[in-house]
Structure 1
Amino acid sequence: MQTVSRTAVLLLATALTLGPAVPTAAAAAQHSTGSAPVVAREGEQYVSLKHPQPVHGASVREVVEIFWYGCRHSAQLEQPLEAWAARQPHDVVLRRIPAVWPGTSDQTVERGHARLFYTLDRLGEVDRLQSAVFRAVREDGLDLTTEDPAAGWAAEHGIDEQRFRSAYESSQVRDETDHAPDEMTRYEVTELPTAVVQGRYQTSATRAGGVTGIPAILDQLLQKTGH
Protein backbone atom coordinates (compact mmCIF):
# COMPACT_ATOMS: atom_id res chain seq x y z
CA MET A 1 0.00 0.00 0.00
CA GLN A 2 1.28 3.43 -0.88
CA THR A 3 2.83 5.27 2.05
CA VAL A 4 0.97 8.46 2.97
CA SER A 5 2.67 11.38 4.72
CA ARG A 6 0.93 11.71 8.10
CA THR A 7 2.06 15.31 8.46
CA ALA A 8 0.58 16.26 5.11
CA VAL A 9 -2.69 14.53 5.85
CA LEU A 10 -3.02 16.15 9.27
CA LEU A 11 -2.32 19.55 7.75
CA LEU A 12 -5.06 18.95 5.21
CA ALA A 13 -7.40 17.87 7.98
CA THR A 14 -6.54 21.10 9.83
CA ALA A 15 -7.50 23.19 6.83
CA LEU A 16 -10.76 21.31 6.42
CA THR A 17 -11.57 21.56 10.12
CA LEU A 18 -10.98 25.28 10.28
CA GLY A 19 -12.58 26.01 6.93
CA PRO A 20 -11.81 28.94 4.63
CA ALA A 21 -10.94 32.30 6.17
CA VAL A 22 -13.58 34.02 4.00
CA PRO A 23 -16.71 32.01 3.13
CA THR A 24 -17.48 31.68 -0.54
CA ALA A 25 -20.80 32.94 -1.86
CA ALA A 26 -21.94 29.35 -2.38
CA ALA A 27 -21.07 28.42 1.19
CA ALA A 28 -22.86 31.47 2.54
CA ALA A 29 -25.93 30.66 0.48
CA GLN A 30 -25.93 27.07 1.70
CA HIS A 31 -25.70 28.24 5.32
CA SER A 32 -28.51 30.76 4.91
CA THR A 33 -30.87 28.33 3.20
CA GLY A 34 -30.17 25.45 5.59
CA SER A 35 -29.64 22.96 2.75
CA ALA A 36 -29.64 19.21 3.32
CA PRO A 37 -26.54 17.52 4.79
CA VAL A 38 -23.96 16.02 2.49
CA VAL A 39 -24.85 12.58 1.13
CA ALA A 40 -22.08 10.06 1.84
CA ARG A 41 -20.66 8.81 -1.44
CA GLU A 42 -18.05 6.09 -1.76
CA GLY A 43 -14.68 7.47 -2.76
CA GLU A 44 -15.61 10.89 -1.44
CA GLN A 45 -17.02 10.93 2.10
CA TYR A 46 -15.99 7.33 2.79
CA VAL A 47 -14.11 4.37 1.34
CA SER A 48 -14.59 0.63 1.68
CA LEU A 49 -11.72 -1.19 3.34
CA LYS A 50 -9.76 -3.39 1.00
CA HIS A 51 -9.78 -6.04 3.71
CA PRO A 52 -12.96 -5.85 5.84
CA GLN A 53 -12.46 -6.60 9.53
CA PRO A 54 -14.64 -8.66 11.90
CA VAL A 55 -16.80 -6.87 14.45
CA HIS A 56 -16.87 -7.66 18.15
CA GLY A 57 -20.32 -9.24 18.37
CA ALA A 58 -22.75 -10.71 15.85
CA SER A 59 -25.76 -8.76 17.11
CA VAL A 60 -24.19 -5.29 17.17
CA ARG A 61 -23.35 -2.55 14.73
CA GLU A 62 -19.83 -1.42 15.54
CA VAL A 63 -18.12 1.91 15.02
CA VAL A 64 -14.38 1.92 15.64
CA GLU A 65 -12.65 5.24 16.31
CA ILE A 66 -8.87 5.41 15.91
CA PHE A 67 -7.53 8.40 17.83
CA TRP A 68 -4.53 9.84 19.67
CA TYR A 69 -4.64 11.90 22.85
CA GLY A 70 -1.99 14.19 21.40
CA CYS A 71 -3.95 14.86 18.19
CA ARG A 72 -5.84 18.16 18.03
CA HIS A 73 -8.40 16.79 15.61
CA SER A 74 -9.03 13.73 17.77
CA ALA A 75 -9.64 16.08 20.69
CA GLN A 76 -12.04 18.17 18.61
CA LEU A 77 -14.01 15.06 17.67
CA GLU A 78 -14.49 13.80 21.24
CA GLN A 79 -17.47 15.93 22.27
CA PRO A 80 -19.41 15.53 18.98
CA LEU A 81 -18.68 11.80 19.05
CA GLU A 82 -19.83 11.42 22.66
CA ALA A 83 -23.05 13.27 21.83
CA TRP A 84 -23.54 11.08 18.75
CA ALA A 85 -22.96 7.87 20.72
CA ALA A 86 -25.41 8.92 23.44
CA ARG A 87 -28.31 9.04 21.00
CA GLN A 88 -27.64 5.68 19.31
CA PRO A 89 -29.83 2.59 19.85
CA HIS A 90 -28.54 -0.17 22.10
CA ASP A 91 -27.19 -2.27 19.21
CA VAL A 92 -24.71 0.42 18.12
CA VAL A 93 -21.37 0.07 19.89
CA LEU A 94 -18.53 2.62 19.85
CA ARG A 95 -15.12 1.00 20.25
CA ARG A 96 -12.00 3.13 20.54
CA ILE A 97 -8.48 2.21 19.45
CA PRO A 98 -5.45 4.37 20.35
CA ALA A 99 -3.15 5.11 17.44
CA VAL A 100 0.49 4.08 17.42
CA TRP A 101 2.20 4.96 14.14
CA PRO A 102 5.17 2.59 13.66
CA GLY A 103 8.48 4.22 12.87
CA THR A 104 7.43 7.84 13.49
CA SER A 105 8.91 10.42 15.83
CA ASP A 106 5.71 10.34 17.91
CA GLN A 107 5.71 6.57 18.39
CA THR A 108 7.05 6.59 21.97
CA VAL A 109 4.52 9.18 23.12
CA GLU A 110 1.70 7.41 21.28
CA ARG A 111 2.65 4.13 22.89
CA GLY A 112 2.55 5.74 26.34
CA HIS A 113 -0.87 7.19 25.61
CA ALA A 114 -2.05 3.82 24.29
CA ARG A 115 -1.01 2.14 27.51
CA LEU A 116 -2.91 4.75 29.52
CA PHE A 117 -6.01 4.20 27.39
CA TYR A 118 -5.90 0.41 27.70
CA THR A 119 -5.43 0.75 31.45
CA LEU A 120 -8.53 2.94 31.72
CA ASP A 121 -10.36 0.55 29.44
CA ARG A 122 -9.48 -2.44 31.64
CA LEU A 123 -10.78 -0.50 34.64
CA GLY A 124 -14.01 0.47 32.86
CA GLU A 125 -13.18 4.18 33.13
CA VAL A 126 -12.86 5.24 29.48
CA ASP A 127 -16.38 6.65 29.09
CA ARG A 128 -16.00 8.70 32.27
CA LEU A 129 -12.48 9.98 31.69
CA GLN A 130 -11.84 10.10 27.93
CA SER A 131 -12.56 13.84 27.66
CA ALA A 132 -10.56 14.51 30.82
CA VAL A 133 -7.48 12.81 29.36
CA PHE A 134 -7.74 14.92 26.22
CA ARG A 135 -7.91 18.08 28.36
CA ALA A 136 -4.96 16.98 30.48
CA VAL A 137 -2.79 16.28 27.44
CA ARG A 138 -3.94 18.94 24.98
CA GLU A 139 -4.87 21.87 27.25
CA ASP A 140 -2.87 21.32 30.44
CA GLY A 141 0.23 19.94 28.71
CA LEU A 142 0.59 17.01 31.12
CA ASP A 143 2.95 14.16 30.28
CA LEU A 144 0.95 11.01 31.03
CA THR A 145 3.13 8.65 29.01
CA THR A 146 4.73 6.84 31.96
CA GLU A 147 3.33 5.03 34.97
CA ASP A 148 4.00 7.42 37.86
CA PRO A 149 2.43 10.59 36.42
CA ALA A 150 -0.40 8.57 34.88
CA ALA A 151 -1.13 6.88 38.21
CA GLY A 152 -1.03 10.19 40.04
CA TRP A 153 -3.42 11.77 37.54
CA ALA A 154 -5.77 8.78 37.79
CA ALA A 155 -5.80 9.05 41.59
CA GLU A 156 -6.77 12.71 41.32
CA HIS A 157 -9.72 11.58 39.21
CA GLY A 158 -11.09 9.04 41.62
CA ILE A 159 -9.26 5.83 40.71
CA ASP A 160 -7.48 3.91 43.45
CA GLU A 161 -3.78 4.28 42.66
CA GLN A 162 -2.84 0.69 43.44
CA ARG A 163 -5.71 -0.58 41.32
CA PHE A 164 -4.53 1.63 38.46
CA ARG A 165 -0.93 0.43 38.76
CA SER A 166 -2.05 -3.20 38.82
CA ALA A 167 -3.97 -2.74 35.58
CA TYR A 168 -1.14 -0.70 34.02
CA GLU A 169 1.33 -3.53 34.67
CA SER A 170 -1.04 -6.32 33.64
CA SER A 171 -0.19 -8.67 30.78
CA GLN A 172 -3.46 -7.75 29.09
CA VAL A 173 -2.60 -4.06 28.91
CA ARG A 174 0.96 -4.82 27.81
CA ASP A 175 -0.29 -7.09 25.02
CA GLU A 176 -2.90 -4.61 23.82
CA THR A 177 -0.31 -1.84 23.75
CA ASP A 178 2.13 -4.06 21.84
CA HIS A 179 -0.54 -4.85 19.23
CA ALA A 180 -1.77 -1.26 18.80
CA PRO A 181 0.42 -0.63 15.71
CA ASP A 182 -1.15 -3.67 14.04
CA GLU A 183 -4.58 -2.07 14.35
CA MET A 184 -3.41 0.82 12.16
CA THR A 185 -2.67 -1.64 9.39
CA ARG A 186 -5.85 -3.68 9.88
CA TYR A 187 -8.06 -0.61 9.56
CA GLU A 188 -5.95 0.97 6.78
CA VAL A 189 -5.50 4.22 8.73
CA THR A 190 -3.85 7.15 6.96
CA GLU A 191 -4.95 10.03 9.18
CA LEU A 192 -6.36 10.83 12.61
CA PRO A 193 -9.03 10.64 13.67
CA THR A 194 -10.46 7.83 11.55
CA ALA A 195 -13.73 5.95 12.05
CA VAL A 196 -14.69 2.56 10.62
CA VAL A 197 -18.27 1.31 10.51
CA GLN A 198 -19.01 -2.40 10.79
CA GLY A 199 -15.43 -3.26 9.83
CA ARG A 200 -16.14 -2.16 6.26
CA TYR A 201 -16.63 1.57 5.71
CA GLN A 202 -14.00 4.14 6.65
CA THR A 203 -14.37 7.89 7.03
CA SER A 204 -12.17 10.63 8.46
CA ALA A 205 -11.93 14.35 9.06
CA THR A 206 -10.63 14.94 5.55
CA ARG A 207 -13.37 12.92 3.88
CA ALA A 208 -16.16 14.29 6.08
CA GLY A 209 -15.13 17.91 5.48
CA GLY A 210 -13.94 18.37 9.08
CA VAL A 211 -14.32 16.55 12.37
CA THR A 212 -17.81 17.92 13.01
CA GLY A 213 -18.99 16.27 9.80
CA ILE A 214 -18.02 12.78 10.93
CA PRO A 215 -21.12 11.93 13.03
CA ALA A 216 -23.52 12.61 10.13
CA ILE A 217 -21.45 10.35 7.87
CA LEU A 218 -21.48 7.64 10.55
CA ASP A 219 -25.28 7.76 10.62
CA GLN A 220 -25.43 7.19 6.88
CA LEU A 221 -22.85 4.41 6.95
CA LEU A 222 -24.75 2.62 9.72
CA GLN A 223 -27.81 2.63 7.50
CA LYS A 224 -25.78 0.84 4.85
CA THR A 225 -25.08 -2.09 7.20
CA GLY A 226 -28.61 -3.39 6.69
CA HIS A 227 -29.53 -3.76 10.39
Structure 2
Amino acid sequence: MRLTLSMLMLLLSMAVGVQAQDSYKEGVHYQALKQPVPTQDPTKIEVTEVFWYGCGHCFSFEPMIQQWKKGLDSDVTFVHSPAIWNGPMEVHARAFYVAKALNMFDKIHQPLFNALNIDRKRLANEKSLGQFFADFGVDAETFKKTYNSFGVVSQVSQANARARSYGIQGTPEIVVDGKYRVSASLAGSQEKMLQVTNYLVNKIRQEKS
Protein backbone atom coordinates (compact mmCIF):
# COMPACT_ATOMS: atom_id res chain seq x y z
CA MET A 1 0.00 0.00 0.00
CA ARG A 2 2.84 2.38 0.85
CA LEU A 3 4.44 1.90 -2.58
CA THR A 4 1.13 2.41 -4.40
CA LEU A 5 0.41 5.56 -2.42
CA SER A 6 3.93 6.80 -3.12
CA MET A 7 3.43 6.35 -6.85
CA LEU A 8 0.09 8.18 -6.76
CA MET A 9 1.63 11.04 -4.81
CA LEU A 10 4.50 11.18 -7.31
CA LEU A 11 2.17 11.41 -10.31
CA LEU A 12 0.06 14.07 -8.60
CA SER A 13 3.04 16.13 -7.51
CA MET A 14 4.55 15.95 -10.99
CA ALA A 15 1.27 17.13 -12.50
CA VAL A 16 1.20 20.06 -10.09
CA GLY A 17 4.85 20.68 -10.85
CA VAL A 18 4.10 21.22 -14.52
CA GLN A 19 2.05 24.27 -13.54
CA ALA A 20 4.84 25.60 -11.32
CA GLN A 21 7.81 25.30 -13.68
CA ASP A 22 8.31 29.05 -13.90
CA SER A 23 9.24 29.01 -10.21
CA TYR A 24 12.30 26.76 -10.73
CA LYS A 25 15.41 28.89 -10.49
CA GLU A 26 19.07 28.17 -11.04
CA GLY A 27 21.01 28.25 -7.80
CA VAL A 28 17.84 27.61 -5.81
CA HIS A 29 16.21 24.44 -7.17
CA TYR A 30 19.13 23.19 -9.28
CA GLN A 31 22.75 24.04 -9.98
CA ALA A 32 24.39 24.73 -13.34
CA LEU A 33 27.73 22.95 -13.67
CA LYS A 34 30.68 25.31 -13.95
CA GLN A 35 31.99 23.20 -16.81
CA PRO A 36 29.56 21.09 -18.90
CA VAL A 37 30.40 17.38 -19.01
CA PRO A 38 30.20 15.61 -22.42
CA THR A 39 27.29 13.19 -22.76
CA GLN A 40 27.36 9.75 -24.34
CA ASP A 41 25.08 10.69 -27.25
CA PRO A 42 24.92 14.40 -28.19
CA THR A 43 21.79 13.76 -30.27
CA LYS A 44 19.84 12.89 -27.11
CA ILE A 45 19.01 14.74 -23.91
CA GLU A 46 20.86 12.67 -21.32
CA VAL A 47 19.49 12.27 -17.80
CA THR A 48 22.03 10.64 -15.48
CA GLU A 49 21.25 9.37 -11.99
CA VAL A 50 24.33 9.14 -9.78
CA PHE A 51 23.55 6.50 -7.17
CA TRP A 52 24.93 3.92 -4.75
CA TYR A 53 23.41 0.51 -4.09
CA GLY A 54 24.06 0.90 -0.37
CA CYS A 55 22.27 4.26 -0.14
CA GLY A 56 18.87 4.08 1.56
CA HIS A 57 17.75 7.26 -0.20
CA CYS A 58 18.67 5.72 -3.58
CA PHE A 59 16.74 2.59 -2.59
CA SER A 60 13.59 4.61 -1.87
CA PHE A 61 14.08 6.68 -5.03
CA GLU A 62 14.42 3.63 -7.30
CA PRO A 63 10.66 2.90 -7.70
CA MET A 64 10.07 6.57 -8.49
CA ILE A 65 12.80 6.73 -11.11
CA GLN A 66 11.60 3.49 -12.70
CA GLN A 67 8.05 4.85 -12.98
CA TRP A 68 9.34 8.17 -14.30
CA LYS A 69 11.44 6.47 -16.99
CA LYS A 70 8.33 4.94 -18.53
CA GLY A 71 7.14 8.37 -19.65
CA LEU A 72 10.34 9.51 -21.34
CA ASP A 73 10.13 10.81 -24.89
CA SER A 74 12.30 9.36 -27.63
CA ASP A 75 14.73 12.28 -27.51
CA VAL A 76 15.66 11.55 -23.88
CA THR A 77 18.03 8.82 -22.70
CA PHE A 78 18.47 7.68 -19.10
CA VAL A 79 21.81 6.57 -17.64
CA HIS A 80 22.77 5.10 -14.27
CA SER A 81 26.20 6.11 -13.00
CA PRO A 82 27.54 4.70 -9.71
CA ALA A 83 29.07 7.05 -7.16
CA ILE A 84 32.44 6.10 -5.70
CA TRP A 85 34.15 7.71 -2.72
CA ASN A 86 35.24 4.73 -0.63
CA GLY A 87 36.22 1.08 -0.95
CA PRO A 88 32.79 -0.58 -0.58
CA MET A 89 31.29 1.86 -3.10
CA GLU A 90 33.96 0.88 -5.63
CA VAL A 91 33.08 -2.79 -5.08
CA HIS A 92 29.41 -2.03 -5.70
CA ALA A 93 30.27 0.05 -8.76
CA ARG A 94 32.17 -2.93 -10.12
CA ALA A 95 29.09 -5.07 -9.48
CA PHE A 96 27.06 -2.66 -11.60
CA TYR A 97 29.47 -2.93 -14.53
CA VAL A 98 29.92 -6.69 -14.13
CA ALA A 99 26.14 -7.06 -14.44
CA LYS A 100 26.22 -4.87 -17.54
CA ALA A 101 29.09 -6.84 -19.07
CA LEU A 102 27.31 -10.15 -18.47
CA ASN A 103 24.02 -8.83 -19.92
CA MET A 104 22.19 -9.47 -16.67
CA PHE A 105 21.64 -5.96 -15.34
CA ASP A 106 17.86 -6.38 -15.16
CA LYS A 107 18.30 -9.53 -13.05
CA ILE A 108 20.88 -8.07 -10.67
CA HIS A 109 19.94 -4.41 -10.23
CA GLN A 110 16.97 -4.57 -7.82
CA PRO A 111 18.17 -7.70 -5.96
CA LEU A 112 21.47 -5.94 -5.22
CA PHE A 113 19.57 -2.96 -3.82
CA ASN A 114 17.50 -5.37 -1.72
CA ALA A 115 20.51 -7.30 -0.46
CA LEU A 116 22.17 -4.17 0.89
CA ASN A 117 19.12 -2.27 2.14
CA ILE A 118 16.69 -4.98 3.26
CA ASP A 119 18.85 -8.01 4.01
CA ARG A 120 21.63 -5.78 5.37
CA LYS A 121 24.38 -7.69 3.60
CA ARG A 122 27.60 -5.72 3.21
CA LEU A 123 28.93 -7.35 0.01
CA ALA A 124 31.98 -5.16 0.47
CA ASN A 125 34.60 -7.34 -1.23
CA GLU A 126 35.13 -9.45 -4.34
CA LYS A 127 34.54 -12.76 -2.53
CA SER A 128 31.14 -11.89 -1.05
CA LEU A 129 30.03 -10.28 -4.28
CA GLY A 130 31.09 -13.38 -6.21
CA GLN A 131 28.85 -15.45 -3.95
CA PHE A 132 25.99 -13.06 -4.63
CA PHE A 133 26.43 -13.42 -8.40
CA ALA A 134 26.68 -17.20 -8.01
CA ASP A 135 23.06 -17.18 -6.79
CA PHE A 136 22.17 -15.90 -10.27
CA GLY A 137 24.08 -18.63 -12.10
CA VAL A 138 27.43 -16.90 -12.63
CA ASP A 139 30.31 -19.31 -12.05
CA ALA A 140 33.27 -18.19 -9.96
CA GLU A 141 35.76 -18.04 -12.82
CA THR A 142 33.50 -15.94 -15.04
CA PHE A 143 32.79 -13.54 -12.22
CA LYS A 144 36.45 -13.16 -11.25
CA LYS A 145 37.55 -12.63 -14.84
CA THR A 146 34.83 -10.00 -15.46
CA TYR A 147 35.23 -8.27 -12.10
CA ASN A 148 38.95 -7.73 -12.73
CA SER A 149 38.67 -7.08 -16.47
CA PHE A 150 40.14 -3.99 -18.08
CA GLY A 151 36.67 -2.99 -19.29
CA VAL A 152 35.07 -3.02 -15.84
CA VAL A 153 38.02 -1.34 -14.12
CA SER A 154 38.06 1.38 -16.81
CA GLN A 155 34.32 2.03 -16.52
CA VAL A 156 34.59 2.35 -12.75
CA SER A 157 37.40 4.87 -13.18
CA GLN A 158 35.35 6.81 -15.73
CA ALA A 159 32.29 6.83 -13.43
CA ASN A 160 34.42 8.18 -10.60
CA ALA A 161 35.84 10.93 -12.81
CA ARG A 162 32.37 11.76 -14.12
CA ALA A 163 30.89 12.14 -10.62
CA ARG A 164 33.77 14.42 -9.65
CA SER A 165 33.20 16.53 -12.75
CA TYR A 166 29.51 16.78 -11.85
CA GLY A 167 30.41 17.99 -8.36
CA ILE A 168 28.21 15.35 -6.76
CA GLN A 169 27.69 15.96 -3.04
CA GLY A 170 25.50 12.98 -2.17
CA THR A 171 23.26 10.30 -3.60
CA PRO A 172 20.94 10.14 -5.36
CA GLU A 173 21.55 13.12 -7.60
CA ILE A 174 20.50 13.74 -11.19
CA VAL A 175 22.52 15.47 -13.88
CA VAL A 176 20.62 16.72 -16.93
CA ASP A 177 22.52 16.71 -20.23
CA GLY A 178 25.84 17.22 -18.47
CA LYS A 179 24.81 20.79 -17.61
CA TYR A 180 22.56 20.86 -14.55
CA ARG A 181 22.69 19.04 -11.19
CA VAL A 182 19.52 18.26 -9.22
CA SER A 183 19.36 16.96 -5.65
CA ALA A 184 16.61 16.46 -3.09
CA SER A 185 18.16 19.11 -0.85
CA LEU A 186 17.96 21.67 -3.67
CA ALA A 187 14.63 20.61 -5.18
CA GLY A 188 12.94 20.04 -1.83
CA SER A 189 12.19 16.30 -2.06
CA GLN A 190 12.78 13.27 -4.23
CA GLU A 191 9.44 13.82 -5.97
CA LYS A 192 10.39 17.41 -6.73
CA MET A 193 13.74 16.23 -8.09
CA LEU A 194 11.82 14.67 -10.95
CA GLN A 195 9.69 17.77 -11.46
CA VAL A 196 12.82 19.90 -11.76
CA THR A 197 14.36 17.31 -14.06
CA ASN A 198 11.32 17.50 -16.34
CA TYR A 199 11.63 21.27 -16.37
CA LEU A 200 15.32 21.08 -17.32
CA VAL A 201 14.67 18.49 -20.04
CA ASN A 202 12.10 20.82 -21.59
CA LYS A 203 14.47 23.77 -21.21
CA ILE A 204 17.23 21.94 -23.07
CA ARG A 205 14.78 20.68 -25.69
CA GLN A 206 13.74 24.27 -26.41
CA GLU A 207 17.36 25.39 -26.58
CA LYS A 208 18.22 22.64 -29.05
CA SER A 209 15.27 23.44 -31.26
Both proteins in one fold, TM over 0.5:
yes
Given candidates 183, 186, 194, the residue that maps to 2:173 is 194
For these two proteins, the number of residue pairs brought into alignment is 189
Instruction: State the alpha-carbon separation in 2 of the partners of residues 76 and 42 from structure 1.
Output: 26
- The residue aligned with 1:76 is 60
| Residue identity in the other structure for 1:36 | V
Q: Return the TM-score normalized by structure 2.
A: 0.81
Give matches, 1:1-227, under 5 Å: 36-37=16-17, 38-39=20-21, 40-101=24-85, 107-159=86-138, 161-226=140-205
Indicate the structure with greater helix content: 2
Q: Are the counterparts in 2 of residues 53 and 186 from structure 1 also a CA contact under 8 Å?
A: yes
Q: Deviations over 1:6-56 (max 9, x none)?
A: xxxxxxxxxxxxxxxxxxxxxxxxxxxx99324322112111110001111
Q: Are the counterparts in 2 of residues 116 and 145 from structure 1 also a CA contact under 8 Å?
A: no
Deviation at 1:123, TM superposition (A): 2.2
Instruction: State the alpha-carbon separation in 2 of the partners of residues 127 and 45 from structure 1.
Output: 32
Query: Structure 2: where are the runs of 5+ without partners?
Result: 1-13
Deviation at 1:62, TM superposition (A): 0.5
Q: Return the TM-score normalized by structure 1.
A: 0.75
Q: Deviations over 1:132-167 (max 9, x none)?
A: 211111111112222222122123235455433332
Instruction: State the alpha-carbon separation in 1 of the partners of residues 30 and 138 from structure 2.
Output: 39
Q: CA RMSD in A?
A: 2.1
Aligned-residue sequence identity (percent) comes to: 29
Q: Are the counterparts in 2 of residues 66 and 195 from structure 1 also a CA contact under 8 Å?
A: yes
Query: Structure 1: where are the runs of 5+ without partners?
Result: 1-33, 102-106
